Amino acid sequence: MSIETLKKMGEKIMETITHNELYNGLINGAREVMNNRIFLNDINVFPVADGDTGSNLFSTMHSIVHHSELRDDTKTTVETIADSAIIGARGNSGLIFAQYFQGFSEGITSEKVITIENFATALKQGMEYAYRAVEHPVEGTMLTTMTVFYEALSKELGSHEAFDKLLESASEKVESAVEHTTEQLKVLKKSSVVDSGAKGFAYFVKGFLEGIRGHVIAEDDSESFESIPAISEDDHQIGDYRYCTEALIEHNESSEDLKSLISDIGDSVVEVKGKSKTRLHIHTNDPAEMFDRLSSHGKIIEQKVDDMVRQYDRIHHRKYKTVIVTDSIADLPEEIIDDAQVHVVHVSLLVGDETYIDKLTITNEKLFDVAKNKGIHPTSSQPTTRSVEDAFRYLLTYYDNVVVLSVAKALSGTYNVFSKAAEKFADTNKNIHVIDTKQNSVAEGLIVWQAIENLKAGKSVDEILSVAEQSISQSKILVKINTLDNMIASGRLSVRAGGIAKKIGLKPIVSLDETGDGEVFKIAFNPKTALKKILKHVKSVNESKGIKHYAVTYVDDPKLGQEFAEQLTGIVGKEPVYITKTSGVIANGAGVGAVAVAYITE
């Protein structure tokens, strides 16, 4: 119905919208997406069935709602939305949406009154930016609905329809396009669902329309009321790459295409560029390589790595009703963690003003190189209470019990973070058990390994906890240090004492006492003597008490770890249950060339 006809009927006509109404509409649209995150997670099967599209869009929209501002003119207002979107963007869908807002902000004018023509021009630029952000655009996704929305409006520009009526008609076409995605992508058709990202965009358009009409949508804790379709598990595939990896970079003045730097190590590459920041997304098996390549192209101010294999298995192939949780300081082979679907909470490594994710975004070798080049000794940082609370909340969606085996309380605040986060669930019927292993590194890992074995054997939670508690007093770690430099740099040895120790060739054997605090177990004056003392001790313990299990770890040289394991095998009479590389946290303290053994006695 034309504007003239509506005027004759005495109806209120929306010929244009103000920049205030535009802002309210955008915020309203963001809230509508946020309120439907659970439904969007549940229908997420493309590009990977990891069930996180809703969560990723929630993060993007939450940042917009809580960090954007209504400014004096349209353009600067929308720029705050675009900037907020980049900061909060997560996942494929979140980054594409963020780039959409970036293009929209470039295309919108500064006038406080927006015509439908102005609006359509901005939508076109948003759509084009979104397509350019993706290395290999795929139709039947959010990109398609963005195109449909723009085309539906642009085709009707000369019809003299009211602004909101045009949007209403375009919204209906977007909904139809969403339904059609089931036919466009094979994986969606098999699962009988629509594309999650496309549906998210439809929610946004719906909320936007309500917003400019003055209907405010509140953030709703009740999630979506839509029925959730059943999804066939057998149809899901995780793809060739494991880690959904993202970087937020304060970029250099150069406007180079960063996608080309990393496109050979993964897929689903998306790049979102703002005025001062760029966010990159990729699915890869080597997050550390990505961050290494990006390190010379700007300051990396945020890193994110999600394990899509773990997310997928937890949703579709969960093995147990109890999940074991530990921190990344526990040294365990990845295959053992994978087999038992252990949830690992990663600590952070800080080198100056750069932060890395332990065991994921930097190797031990690279950690040493970065520290040397910067002339700074790295430090570590425990996870935040909020992040652990979120992890517990997520895990309790799928598991009846959560068993947390933490690094020694005496060494790290991580145990306190676990305990404090668990308190949030104390008044619920959820069972979270937090144990201080009073160990670190391979000794902590060995206690986790034993808990895994008991879980696999069908032991009850009480039995798993009881054996773990008993093992703490029966466990010991012995670390053979090759250099004192790291102990001096970390402050564990004073510069003066360290200097003297280096002059006389001191090689301490480091361990933990019964409380989990660090101690010098024995003193040696050369590496060979240190090794002999460790082997002698292990032999004595095996003869007097019997060694039930033991494991070996190394900092940077697998050959040293293997040779150490072979010597121990000759003494104990059996091979270690595993040999693995240490975490960056342990490497930072032990230094190049260090090896360690941990055991649990009979």
Compute the distance between CA of residue 375 and CA of residue 387 in angstroms, rounded to an integer: 31
**Is the per-residue pLDDT at 11 higher than 60?**
no
DSSP letter string, 193-205: ---HHHHHHHHHH
Look at 526 and 587; give whichever has higher pLDDT.
587
DSSP letter string, 114-179: E-HHHHHHHHHHHHHHHHHHBSS--SSSHHHHHHHHHHHHHTTGGG-B-HHHHHHHHHHHHHHHHH
- Average pLDDT in the chain: 88
Q: Each residue of 85-124: pLDDT tens digit?
A: 988 888 888 889 999 999 999 999 988 899 999 999 999 9
Sign for the CA dihedral angle at 492, 493, 494, 499 comes to negative
The architecture CATH gives domain 3-217:
Alpha Horseshoe (1.25)
The architecture CATH gives domain 475-601:
2-Layer Sandwich (3.30)
Look at 196 and 457; give whichever has higher pLDDT.
457
**Is the per-residue pLDDT at 149 higher than 90?**
yes
Specify the pLDDT at position 129: 93
Whole-number percent of the chain with pLDDT over 70: 90
Instruction: Count other C-beta atoms under 10 Å from residue 423's C-beta.
Output: 12
Mean pLDDT of 137-166: 87
Specify the pLDDT at position 591: 92
Q: Where are the domains of the chain?
A: 3-217, 318-347+382-473, 475-601
Greatest pairwise CA separation for the chain in angstroms: 101
Q: Each residue of 359-414: pLDDT tens digit?
A: 999 999 999 999 999 888 999 999 999 889 989 998 998 999 999 999 999 999 99
Mean pLDDT of 564-572: 98
Specify the pLDDT at position 152: 93
Specify the pLDDT at position 45: 65
Mean pLDDT of 467-479: 97
Instruction: Report residue 229's pLDDT band, with 50, 70 and 90 as the boundaries.
Output: very low
Instruction: Report residue 423's pLDDT band, with 50, 70 and 90 as the boundaries.
Output: very high
**Is the per-residue pLDDT at 507 higher than 80?**
yes
**Is the per-residue pLDDT at 78 higher than 50?**
yes
**Is the per-residue pLDDT at 22 higher than 80?**
yes
Specify the pLDDT at position 236: 42
Compute the distance between CA of residue 147 and CA of residue 179 in angstroms, rounded to an integer: 15
Specify the pLDDT at position 497: 64
Give how far the C-alpha of residue 461 lies from the chain's centroid of Cα atoms, to the nearest Å. 28
* CATH code for the structural domain at 318-347+382-473: 3.40.50.10440
Q: Each residue of 239-296: pLDDT tens digit?
A: 789 999 999 888 766 567 788 899 999 998 988 887 778 889 999 999 999 999 998 8
Specify the pLDDT at position 88: 86
Whole-number percent of the chain with pLDDT over 90: 60
Instruction: Report residue 33's pLDDT band, with 50, 70 and 90 as the boundaries.
Output: very high
**Is the per-residue pLDDT at 565 higher than 70?**
yes
Specify the pLDDT at position 494: 64
Specify the pLDDT at position 5: 57
Q: Each residue of 435-456: pLDDT tens digit?
A: 999 999 999 999 999 999 999 9
Specify the pLDDT at position 255: 60
**Taking a C-beta distance cutoff of 8 angstroms, is the pair 287, 243 a contact?**
yes
